[in-house]
């Protein structure tokens, strides 16, 4: 059994992907962040290599799968009125939707 077979025998990859995709609303294909001069400083396109199903022989399959899960990007609904933006910048950003008239919407 080589390292790829060992990683696959752990199972759960499908469940992990399903969990990571839970709440997905949408994304911006080929999104980019540009600086004040219009230069691209970050783009999701730089990570397109993660779309390959099999990792390079020098990459542990579990790390490859983890990177692929982190590569899922877009807007996700976490719970009622709580949303996350994932994978479009380095940090994950969370937002909550306030109810009109509540104390949290008037601050």
How confident is residue 104, by pLDDT bands cut at 50, 70 and 90?
low
Query: Exposed, middle or buried: residue 4 (CB in 10 Å: 0-12, 13-18, 19+)?
Result: middle
> pLDDT above 90 covers what percent of the chain?
24
Query: Exposed, middle or buried: residue 5 (CB in 10 Å: 0-12, 13-18, 19+)?
Result: exposed
Give the range of the structural domain holding residue 79, as residue numbers without chain letter: 3-105
What pLDDT score does 63 carry?
A: 92
* Number of domains comprising the chain: 1
How confident is residue 106, by pLDDT bands cut at 50, 70 and 90?
very low
How confident is residue 90, by pLDDT bands cut at 50, 70 and 90?
low
Contacts of 26 (CB under 8 A, 6+ apart): 74, 75
What pLDDT score does 30 carry?
A: 81
Q: Is 97 left (phi over 0), alpha (psi -120 to 50) or beta?
A: beta
pLDDT tens digits, 13-54: 778 889 888 999 999 888 888 899 999 998 888 888 988 888
What pLDDT score does 32 carry?
A: 87
CA pair distance 64, 57, nearest whole angstrom: 11
100 versus 84: the higher-pLDDT residue is: 84
> What are the start-end ranges of the H helices in the chain?
3-9, 13-21, 61-70
């Amino acid at each position: 059994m080589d390292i790829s077979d060992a990683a696959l025998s752990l199972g759960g990859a499908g469940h992990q992907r399903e969990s990571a995709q839970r709440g997905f609303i949408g994304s911006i294909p080929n999104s980019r962040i540009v600086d004040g001069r219009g230069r691209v400083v970050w783009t999701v396109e730089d990570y397109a290599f993660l779309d390959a199903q099999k990792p390079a022989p020098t990459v542990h399959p579990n790390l490859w799968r983890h990177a692929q899960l982190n590569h899922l990007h877009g807007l996700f609904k976490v719970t009622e009125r709580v949303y996350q933006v994932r994978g479009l910048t380095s940090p994950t950003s969370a937002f909550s939707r306030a109810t009109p008239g509540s104390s949290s919407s008037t601050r």
